[in-house]
Amino acid sequence: MSRWGIAGVGLLFVIGVWLVAAPFVTGEQPDSATWTAATRNDVIVGAVLALLGFTGFFTVLAGHIADMYAKGPQPPAQR
Amino acid sequence: MTRYLAGLITATAALAAGVWLMLAPYGLDYPSGGTALQVDMWTGAGVCAVALATIVVWARAWRGQLRADGLLPERPAAQAVEQAEPEQPAAPAPAVPTTEDLHSLLKPLVAALAADQLERTAKRHTEEDW
């Protein structure tokens, strides 16, 4: 269950990165021109989303590992 | 607890961002039919879908953990099933005859046999006397 949750948070980071790159990848924003409102919006929202995903991913991972430490050493898995 | 809360907060904030992405083309007057409009609408829809799924996953995981720790009662559905099917009274155990039962059963039989035996003996004695 937690794996899907971690994957979801990681996916949000990926979507954020895509959103930052989207205006330039799709050619909507020429390199030399002033940024349009759409480009500004996409870059800002994408950056926020990527930051959220990044922070969330590592916070969730840290919580997961903290729980593992709290449980203590587990017996090795039987083959 | 930290990871559940972090997952939920991240996903909820992302949901808000997704909703904004879908509203932005109208709020910021994007050129209609342009690539930016389509990118924002589809990306916003994707963000909303992923965020909603992530919220559901983390909420269920947290609820399950709270149940496992004994901080939440068992599922109401499970309780309803238990209430709907009240405990049937235990079926009576098959009657095993006790020694007293056997005695009371055999006593008249033995008495009848004894009486019959006495009668025959008396009859034999009477015939011998003759």
What pLDDT is stored for residue B76 in this prediction? Answer: 67
Q: Are B39 and A28 in contact (CB under 8 A)?
A: yes
Interchain CB contact of B59 with A (< 8 Å): no
Note the pLDDT tens digit of each residue in A21-76.
999 999 988 888 899 999 999 999 999 999 999 999 999 999 888 988 998 888 88
User: How distant is the alpha carbon of residue B111 from its chain centre?
Assistant: 60
Phi/psi at B60 (nearest 5 deg)? -65, -40
The domain segmentation of chain A, as residue ranges, is: 2-70
Q: Are A52 and A16 in contact (CB under 8 A)?
A: yes
Provide, as residue numbers in chain B, all residues whose Cβ is less than 8 Å from the Cβ of A15.
43, 46-47, 50
What pLDDT is stored for residue B88 in this prediction? Answer: 66
CA distance B11 to A12: 8
What pLDDT is stored for residue B82 in this prediction? Answer: 65
The whole-number average pLDDT for the span A7-33 is 92
Interchain CB contact of B15 with A (< 8 Å): no
Q: Mutation target for B interface from A6, A14, A41: give the one with most B CBs within 10 A.
A: A41
Q: For residue A18, what pLDDT band results from cuts at 50, 70 and 90?
A: very high
Q: What is the ipTM of this complex?
A: 0.85
Note the pLDDT tens digit of each residue in B37-81.
999 999 999 999 999 999 999 999 999 989 988 888 877 666 666
Note the pLDDT tens digit of each residue in B93-124.
667 778 888 888 888 889 999 999 998 888 88
CA distance B58 to B66: 12
What pLDDT is stored for residue A2 in this prediction? Answer: 79
Ramachandran class of B89: left when φ > 0, alpha when ψ lies in -120 to 50, beta otherwise: beta
Provide, as residue numbers in chain B, all residues whose Cβ is less than 8 Å from the Cβ of A56.
6-7, 9-11
Q: For residue B34, what pLDDT band results from cuts at 50, 70 and 90?
A: confident
